[in-house]
């Protein structure tokens, strides 16, 4: 079964749509499928939903969080919705081919990376929570950004799971894993927000209401709104909650004006609602026309070698730069394999902690390199776009030349990243080859060779892009850095025969 993970990060920006689009573009650059974007100016919040394989989704989440930290200042932020960070909360949801426990590992790994690379405090919640008090998001968000900012440095109970006990303008970020939920709002036929707050108190679990309902009352677009998260719609159904709100609203002499979804909803939740209201007691899912057609025209399994097919196509991209990143990612995968085969073995107990660290680093590098596969292809598209600019006047020519150089310089920076990451993979591969499970030494050696090929291929792309610059001086630093990386990689690969001779006798 194809592995699919959904991520639904919430960003504290719903008014500057240009900022929201930049955040979405950052996620999209990792090669994920953007499923939904929902922005609300009253809440001043946007909810993004994207999906893909675990590596791509993890990388997309990091890139969007990084971009949000650059563009959103919580000191200047206000809105109806509670929040503690520019990227407020980042849940991972298993869709197919992956378990909730695996999503917990993704959340934990991402939390460490956010803290280390972006210097943002990170709290883990829901299934990923390390502290029972942090399972519920409401406990972490108590006091919001302003309250957390004043207490994080002095209150031990508010110390983050990862990162500094200090708040910058991007605030803190909550990362976790959970099952699919339904974000669902009901608007009342009144502007009296007190009624919405009272109804929310009645239905939410924390005040004795329904077990799988979280709710709050807000004033949105001049209307009282009951805002909800239904955390298990199969056990507390949407119709049950809606009819309870309708009954409670009638007590105050008001009704339901409309309802809305925030983000996406599982198909089963809608089917259950339809069955409930129409009283189709003997209904079976196989009676749905589209479901019957899907079974009759079952698709073939997805091509696991889709990237290779794209590479072989007679198109400019993806090309050598993407292939270099892909090779580095494969090498990182082999490092993870050898480290995993060494962990838990008595024979390698003395290096177990180092192997665990190596495994974590290799997985981060693998995901980063997979992201660069897409980014390299996108960077080439920017170069092609620059060449399409007009060149009719001298001003046109100057603008076009500058745009070409800027795009080409960017196209050189991407393979330089691939080379640097692949060099790091080489270092990890050398360690597992020296110290890891001897039965997997050939896999460690393969990782070294693959990563070295990735470095050389990436550096070649850097050299060619720099050589095509109109202003060669622009690429001098990038070129010298690339050559230095290549030299370091060469030294590592030259030492490999000695390692193989000493450990495996070959």
Tell me: the pLDDT tens digits for 59-79? 999 999 999 999 999 999 999
Residues 183, 79: Cα–Cα separation, whole Å: 18
For the segment(s) 312-504, the CATH number from 3.40.50.300, 1.20.120.680, 1.10.357.140, 2.40.160.100 is: 1.20.120.680
Q: What's phi and psi for 187, nearest 5 deg?
A: -95, 140
CATH 3.30.990.10 occupies which residues in the chain? 4-177
Residue 313: per-residue pLDDT: 84
pLDDT digits (tens, 9 = 90+) for 216-245: 999 998 999 999 999 888 889 999 999 999
Instruction: Quote the pLDDT of residue 305.
Output: 58
What is the percent of the chain where pLDDT is above 90?
A: 62
- CATH 3.30.70.670 for domain 182-288, yes or no, is yes
DSSP output for 199-248: HHHHHSGGGTS-TTEEEEEEEETTEEEEEEEES-TTTS-HHHHHHHHHHH
CATH 3.30.70.670 intervals, the chain? 182-288
Residues whose CB falls within 8 Å of the CB of residue 291, separated by 6 or more in sequence, listed in order: 285
Task: Give the ranges where 388-440 is alpha helix by DSSP (H).
Answer: 394-435
Q: What is residue 8's DSSP assignment?
A: -
Average pLDDT on 478-497 reads 91
Residue 173 pLDDT = 98
- Res 296: pLDDT: 62
The confidence score (pLDDT) of residue 143 equals: 94
402: Cβ contacts below 8 Å, ≥ 6 apart: none
Sign of the dihedral through C-alpha 359, 361, 362, 368:
positive
Of residues 43, 77, 81, 205, which has the active-site annotation? 81
Domain 4-177 has CATH 3.30.990.10: yes
Residue 275 CB burial class (10 angstroms; 0-12, 13-18, ≥19): middle
Q: Which residues pair with 50 in a beta bridge?
A: 7, 34
Interstrand relation of 223-230 and 122-126 (parallel, antiparallel or unpaired): unpaired
Helix (H) / strand (E) element for 262: namely none
The pTM score is 0.54
* 43 given a catalytic annotation: no
pLDDT digits (tens, 9 = 90+) for 346-365: 899 999 999 998 998 898 88
Average pLDDT, integer, range 493-505: 80
Contact predicate 396/306, CB 8 Å: no
Could you give phi then psi for residue 425, rounded to 5 degrees?
-65, -40
pLDDT digits (tens, 9 = 90+) for 379-438: 888 888 888 899 888 888 888 888 898 889 889 999 999 999 999 999 999 999 999 999
Task: Write down the pLDDT at residue 302.
Answer: 40
Residue 487: strand, helix, or coil: helix
Q: What is the reported pLDDT for 297?
A: 58
């Amino acid at each position: 079964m194809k592995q699919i993970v959904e991520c639904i990060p919430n960003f504290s920006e719903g008014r500057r749509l240009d900022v929201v689009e930049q955040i979405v573009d950052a996620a999209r650059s990792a090669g994920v499928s953007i499923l939904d974007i929902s922005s609300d100016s009253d809440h001043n919040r946007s909810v993004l939903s994207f999906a893909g394989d675990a590596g791509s989704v993890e990388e997309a989440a990091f890139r969007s969080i990084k971009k949000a930290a650059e563009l959103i200042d919580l000191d200047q932020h206000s809105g109806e919705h509670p929040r503690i960070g520019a990227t407020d909360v980042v849940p991972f949801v298993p869709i197919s081919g992956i378990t909730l426990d695996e999503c917990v590992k993704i959340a934990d790994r991402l939390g460490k990376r956010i803290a280390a690379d972006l210097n943002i405090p990170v709290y883990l919640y829901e299934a990923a929570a390390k502290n029972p008090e942090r399972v519920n998001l409401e406990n972490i968000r108590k006091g919001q950004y302003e309250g957390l900012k004043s207490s994080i440095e002095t209150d031990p109970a508010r110390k983050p799971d990862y990162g500094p006990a200090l708040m910058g303008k991007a605030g803190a970020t909550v990362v976790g894993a959970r099952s699919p939920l339904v974000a669902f709002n009901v608007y009342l036929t009144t502007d009296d927000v007190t009624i919405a707050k009272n109804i929310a108190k009645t239905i939410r679990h924390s005040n004795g209401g329904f077990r799988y309902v979280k709710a709050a009352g807000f004033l949105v677009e001049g209307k009282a709104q009951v805002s909800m998260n239904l955390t298990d719609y199969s056990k507390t159904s949407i119709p049950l909650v809606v009819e309870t709100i309708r009954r409670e609203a009638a007590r105050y002499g008001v009704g339901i004006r409309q309802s809305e979804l925030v983000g996406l909803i599982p198909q089963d939740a809608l089917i259950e609602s339809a069955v409930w209201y129409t009283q189709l007691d003997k209904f079976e899912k196989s009676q749905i026309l589209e479901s019957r057609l899907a079974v009759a025209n079952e698709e073939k399994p997805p091509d696991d070698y889709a990237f290779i097919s794209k590479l072989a196509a007679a198109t400019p991209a993806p090309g050598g730069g993407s292939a270099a990143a892909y090779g580095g990612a494969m090498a990182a995968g082999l490092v993870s394999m050898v480290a995993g085969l060494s962990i838990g073995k008595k024979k390698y107990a003395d290096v177990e902690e180092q192997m665990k660290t190596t495994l974590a680093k290799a997985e981060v590098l693998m995901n980063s390199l997979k992201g660069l596969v897409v980014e390299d292809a996108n960077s080439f598209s920017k170069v092609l776009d620059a060449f399409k600019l007009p060149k009719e006047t001298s001003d046109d020519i100057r603008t076009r030349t500058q745009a070409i150089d800027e795009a080409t310089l960017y196209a050189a920076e991407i393979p330089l990243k691939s080379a640097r990451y692949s060099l790091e993979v080489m270092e990890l591969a050398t360690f597992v080859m020296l110290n890891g499970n001897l039965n997997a030494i050939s896999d460690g050696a393969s990782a070294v060779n693959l990563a070295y090929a990735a470095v050389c291929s990436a550096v070649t792309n850097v050299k060619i892009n720099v050589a095509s610059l109109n202003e060669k001086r622009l690429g001098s630093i990038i070129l010298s850095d690339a050559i230095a990386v290549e030299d370091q990689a060469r030294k590592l690969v030259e030492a490999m025969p000695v390692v193989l001779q000493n450990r495996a006798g070959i």
